[in-house]
Amino acid sequence: MMHNPLRDPRDRRIPRLAGPCVLVLFGVTGDLASKKLLPAIYDLANRGLLPPGFSMVGFARRDWADEDFAQLTHDAIKAHARTPFREDVWYQLCEGIRFVPGEFADDEAFDLLAQTVKQLDAERGTGGNYAFYLSIPPKAFPQVVQQLKRSGLSTPPEAAGGVQPWRRVVIEKPFGHDLASAQELNAMLDAVFPPSAVFRIDHYLGKETVQNLLAVRFANTLFEPIWNRRYVDHVQITMAEDIGIGGRAGYYDGIGAARDVIQNHLLQLMALTAMEEPLSFAAEGLRAEKEKVLAAVTIPDDLATGTARGQYSAGWQGGIPVVGYLEEQGIPADSTTETYAAVRLTIDNRRWAGVPFYLRTGKRLPTRMTEIAVLFQRAPHLPFDATETEELGQNALVIRVQPDEGVTLRFGSKVPGSAMEVRDVNMDFAYGESFTESSPEAYERLLLDVLIGDPPLFPRQEEVELSWTILDPIEDFWSTCAKPDQYAAGSSGPRSADELLARDGRSWRRL
Amino acid sequence: MLTDLTDTTAADIRAALRHTRDQMGAPATGVVLNLIIKTDESGQHDAVRAAGQAGREHPCRVLAVISRDPRATSRLDAEIRTGEGTPGQTVLLRLYGPMGEHADSVVMPLLVPDTPVVTWWHGSLPAIPSALPLGALAQRRITDAARAQAPPEALAALAAGYRPGDTDLSWTRATPWRSLLAATLDQVTDEITGGTVSAEEQNPTADLLAAWLSQRMGVPIGREDSGGPGITDVKLTTSAGDITIDRPDGRVATFSRPGQPDRHVALHRRDIAELLAEELRRLDPDEVYGETLAAAAGIPVTS
């Protein structure tokens, strides 16, 4: 790329901006589109991060005109955008909104789509750069991808005037339901798009706190010396949800908590927590380190004692009576799908040998929260009486991913008074209170990265496959077991999960 | 919560700040910077309001220094506002008599420790911001040449007295234009041979923008007067034709490039709170501003 004299690395007021392009959205009528994607696009436009002429095409099975899609976008923005609504920004965005009605099987609809984006190139100068966002069920992927190929949409034209137009495709989890299906999905994408054009969205990686984990670890001298088996006792990574499965019965049953959450979010968080320092924060460096550490993950020898799974039964959640999983609409009464999963993993390398990583996730737990807690070993000797340190726990560094994003450091401190008594206290850093910049929403950040073509925050196929390699034997084992353990909705999980830690002389952090 | 202290001292204000904090049960943390505002009685309302809005993004301890009659006997009146819809605390300090010359002695004990200090002159424009006691305290000094009687002379004076850490809101106003122009040049491969920036008369932002473009691209950039509001258009001449960004109404711009359709871009003029919020985002010296200011004033840049 030619050097741009107006760009200067010292000039940090000028933001990264996407180049001219069209975003083609499949599945615009879905929840994700109206709650996250469309508002994020507006917020990007409002922050001045989208290029002049940026255009958006919606594709769905609706008998709609452009105005109907614009109306849907308008409503979604009004309801969910984070930045204030501005008429002039909306005007700019609205000019580039198009809609193409059709079924995924309909050749004509895709030909119309191809025509529409071409027209946008001519009318709005989008330069033949298209990003396809597949916010659709995975079973529809092959059909859509094939249609993109057939209609010529997936093939960028020859470079004109020294600039090569690009094509990118964005997919959401699940990336398969086991190793074989993940490979199959990849082969299907691979036949149409080069690997560098495929962006797999794991929205957790777009979160500020997750990226901050890298800053905390690698920008400070304070933490890295103790970030190893000599000081760390164990690590707990939790993603708890207070909601049930809601309207996702069709997707969720047969998938379960481990495939839905552990395979992607939790293993990614674990990789970022445990990986070595990357050569740089460019995509290659980051992915190489994540892959190394994922490849070093080992599962328990005895899966019966090293894993736990559960299914919520009827109970009270936050003061409201709720039904059990088996009574949820659309769930067969004999379903063995787990809504809670916990595993004990270890990492076979010099830094982490012998340090267990406990991963847990579940639905209908008391609160919604995601955190990474690094718990440190107790001091080898305490020059106090046992009674003086009765209330002293383990030192801990907790990265709160959501809600209430921030970092907590927990350590012992003297209780005021004439006697010596040590108790745990918290030192707290909260994003909302300590930063001079409001953090962008995860989807905002990720969408911008897609449009700019910046891949570090997107997992690569190798990482997806490594994650399935870790999870597949566990799923195989579970499929041979009887039903998952029941836990009352609103409680903090099945007893077997508590026993999993109790066997190691540890306990879960309170939810 | 409002606390009024008449004929008081910095120590009493500190005690009152701690007392209100204890009463409200809010912890000591949660303030990311100290913002000293040098203003006068007529400007304090707008300045404190803007700081309060920027404070939603950057919770700060605002210390508004208001000089009163310099011939009176020395006296300090303070008004403490906490929890009035914005995070952080605001203290209005009214300095009477000779004390007005020693505002730093009042402000220093009231700064939150371990937290950066920014000084903003709202109204009066100091010749050398860093040479003033309130400027010397700060790592970042914000002025606004657009509020001066004669902005071009004001820019020249700021350039002569520039020290790293200085910044001016007329430069902040240029950011949306600059990012749009930088993004444009990401795409354009034709050689740029010159251009113009048009704006209302005596617009310091236009002067800085023209100086920046000229200095970065090494081509002459003219400066033309138009009726405003603010900057109305920027034109870059290339071998293939003109690239123009035309904003007649201060809200929406039309972007034209040779061989491409015209496009609209939202490019609204931002209010003072938004400008302040951008300024407070980065607290390290803005070298590009320093170089551009020097170029605008015709001072050769030495690096």
ipTM of the complex: 0.84
CB contact, 8 Å: A123 with chain B? Answer: yes
Furthest-apart CA atoms within chain B: distance in Å:
70
pLDDT for residue A304 = 93
| Residue A8 predicted with pLDDT over 70 | yes
- Shortest Cα distance, chain B CAs vs residue A42, angstroms: 12
- Tokens of residue B285, six digits: 């010296």
**Do the chains contact at A19 and B187, CB–CB below 8 Å?**
yes
What pTM value is reported for the model?
0.87
Between these two residues, A391 and B277, which has the higher pLDDT value? Answer: B277
pLDDT for residue B25 = 62
Angle, nearest 10°, between helix axes B204-217 and B175-187? Answer: 30
% helix, strand, coil for chain B, step of 5: 40, 25, 35
Compute CA distances A131 → A27, A38, A56, A372, A456, whole Å: 14, 15, 10, 33, 17
Report the alpha-carbon distance of residue A52 to residue B265 in Å, rounded: 6
pLDDT for residue A433 = 62
Report the alpha-carbon distance of residue A136 to residue A147 in Å, rounded: 14
pLDDT for residue B259 = 85
CB contact, 8 Å: A348 with chain B? Answer: no
Q: Which helix (H) or strand (E) holds B77?
A: strand B75-82
CB contact, 8 Å: A9 with chain B? Answer: no
What is the tens place of the pLDDT at every residue in B46-64?
999 999 888 777 778 999 9
What is the tens place of the pLDDT at every residue in A378-424?
988 888 888 888 878 899 999 998 887 889 999 999 888 888 888 88
**Do the chains contact at A10 and B281, CB–CB below 8 Å?**
no
Report the alpha-carbon distance of residue B262 to residue B256 in Å, rounded: 5
Q: How many CA atoms lie within 13 A of A434 on its CB side?
A: 13
- Shortest Cα distance, chain A CAs vs residue B75, angstroms: 34
Q: Which of these ranges, B121-130, B134-143, B213-222, has the smallest mean pLDDT?
A: B121-130
Report the alpha-carbon distance of residue A89 to residue A94 in Å, rounded: 8
CB contact, 8 Å: A42 with chain B? Answer: no
* Sheet strands (E) in A122-251: 130-134, 167-172, 198-201, 232-240
Question: DSSP secondary-structure letter at A175?
Answer: -
**Do the chains contact at A123 and B183, CB–CB below 8 Å?**
no
How many contacts (CB atoms, under 8 Å) link A and B?
Answer: 113
Q: Which of these ranges, A262-266, A413-417, A444-448, B82-86, has the smallest mean pLDDT?
A: B82-86
pLDDT for residue B195 = 94
Report the alpha-carbon distance of residue B3 to residue B16 in Å, rounded: 8
Encoded amino acid at A171, one letter: I
| Residue B28 predicted with pLDDT over 70 | no
Report the alpha-carbon distance of residue A114 to residue A125 in Å, rounded: 15
CA dihedral A56, A61, A67, A69 (to 10 degrees): -50
Please name the residue that has the structure tokens 């001449």: B237
Please name the residue that has the structure tokens 């609209």: B264
Q: Which of A4, A8, A436 sits opposite B33 (nearest CB)?
A: A436
**Do the chains contact at B252 and A92, CB–CB below 8 Å?**
yes
Question: DSSP secondary-structure letter at A34?
Answer: I
- In degrees and rounded to multiples of 5, residue A75 shows phi and psi of -65, -40
Count of beta carbons in the 10 Å neighbourhood of residue A223: 15
- Tokens of residue B246, six digits: 């035309």
Beta carbons within 8 Å of A450's beta carbon, 6+ residues apart:
A131, A133, A168, A170, A199
Tell which residue, A431, A255, A131, has the closest CA to residue B30: A431
Report the alpha-carbon distance of residue B194 to residue A4 in Å, rounded: 16
CB contact, 8 Å: A417 with chain B? Answer: no
**Do the chains contact at B175 and A53, CB–CB below 8 Å?**
no
Report the alpha-carbon distance of residue A459 to residue A198 in Å, rounded: 10
Report the alpha-carbon distance of residue A243 to residue A231 in Å, rounded: 36
Residues of A annotated catalytic, as ranges = 265
Beta carbons within 8 Å of B150's beta carbon, 6+ residues apart:
B202
- In degrees and rounded to multiples of 5, residue A184 shows phi and psi of -65, -45
- Tokens of residue A108, six digits: 């004509």
Compute CA distances A390 → A10, A219, A387, B72, whole Å: 52, 35, 5, 62
Report the alpha-carbon distance of residue A188 to residue A202 in Å, rounded: 20
Count of beta carbons in the 10 Å neighbourhood of residue B144: 23
**Do the chains contact at B251 and A88, CB–CB below 8 Å?**
yes
Tell which residue, A283, A363, A307, A232, has the closest CA to residue A480: A307
| Residue B27 predicted with pLDDT over 60 | no
Q: Which of B265, B269, B284 to mutate to test the interface with A (most CBs of A within 10 A)?
A: B265
Encoded amino acid at A382, one letter: L
| Residue B162 predicted with pLDDT over 90 | yes
**Do the chains contact at B216 and A13, CB–CB below 8 Å?**
no
- In degrees and rounded to multiples of 5, residue A387 shows phi and psi of -65, -30
Q: Which of A6, A48, A434 sits opposite B32 (nearest CB)?
A: A434
What is the tens place of the pLDDT at every residue in B166-202?
999 999 999 999 999 998 888 887 889 999 999 999 9
pLDDT for residue A356 = 97
Partners of A359 in beta bridges: A237, A343
- In degrees and rounded to multiples of 5, residue B175 shows phi and psi of -55, -50
Confidence class of residue B303 from pLDDT cuts 50, 70 and 90?
Answer: very low
What is the tens place of the pLDDT at every residue in A247-261?
788 888 889 999 999
Report the alpha-carbon distance of residue B90 to residue B52 in Å, rounded: 8
Give, in degrees to the nearest 5, the angle at Cα A376 between A370 and A377. 145
Compute CA distances B5 → A294, B20, B91, whole Å: 62, 13, 10
Q: B21 with B112: CB under 8 angstroms?
A: no
Please name the residue that has the structure tokens 């005895």: A302
Q: A135 with A30: CB under 8 angstroms?
A: yes
| Residue A506 predicted with pLDDT over 90 | yes
| Residue B302 predicted with pLDDT over 60 | no
CB contact, 8 Å: A356 with chain B? Answer: no
Q: Which of A14, A46, A436 sits opposite B280 (nearest CB)?
A: A436
Count of beta carbons in the 10 Å neighbourhood of residue A321: 10
pLDDT for residue A482 = 84
| Residue B123 predicted with pLDDT over 90 | no
pLDDT (average), residues B42-47: 91
**Do the chains contact at B216 and A20, CB–CB below 8 Å?**
no
* Residues of chain A found within 8 Å of residue B257, distances taken between Cβ atoms: 125
What is the tens place of the pLDDT at every residue in A282-334?
888 999 999 999 999 999 999 999 999 999 999 998 888 999 999 998 899 99
Confidence class of residue B279 from pLDDT cuts 50, 70 and 90?
Answer: very high
pLDDT for residue B88 = 78
| Residue A2 predicted with pLDDT over 70 | no
**Do the chains contact at A122 and B261, CB–CB below 8 Å?**
yes
- Shortest Cα distance, chain B CAs vs residue A125, angstroms: 6
Give one word for B103, left, alpha or beta, with left for phi > 0 and alpha for psi -120 to 50. alpha
Report the alpha-carbon distance of residue B5 to residue B131 in Å, rounded: 30
Work out the percent of chain A whose per-residue pLDDT is above 70: 97
pLDDT (average), residues B76-86: 82
Pairing verdict, β A198-201 and A167-172: parallel
Q: What part of B 136-175 touches A (C-beta under 8 Å)?
A: 172, 175
Report the alpha-carbon distance of residue B289 to residue A233 in Å, rounded: 50
pLDDT for residue A159 = 74
pLDDT (average), residues A136-144: 89
Pairing verdict, β B221-225 and B241-246: unpaired
Report the alpha-carbon distance of residue A345 to residue A354 in Å, rounded: 10
pLDDT for residue B33 = 86
pLDDT for residue A438 = 65
Furthest-apart CA atoms within chain A: distance in Å:
83
Comparing alpha-carbon positions, the chain A residue that sits nearest to B58 is: A436
Q: Which of B187, B191, B256 to mutate to test the interface with A (most CBs of A within 10 A)?
A: B187
Q: B279 with B172: CB under 8 angstroms?
A: yes
Report the alpha-carbon distance of residue A34 to residue A27 in Å, rounded: 10
- Tokens of residue A430, six digits: 């909260």
| Residue A217 predicted with pLDDT over 90 | yes
* Residues of chain A found within 8 Å of residue B260, distances taken between Cβ atoms: 125
pLDDT for residue A16 = 83
In the three-class reduction of DSSP (H, G, I as helix; E, B as strand; rest coil), residue B288 is classed as helix
Between these two residues, B17 and A345, which has the higher pLDDT value? Answer: A345
Tell which residue, B121, B76, B127, B84, has the closest CA to residue B102: B76
Please name the residue that has the structure tokens 């799908």: A337
Compute CA distances A416 → A71, A387, A409, B19, whole Å: 61, 16, 20, 20
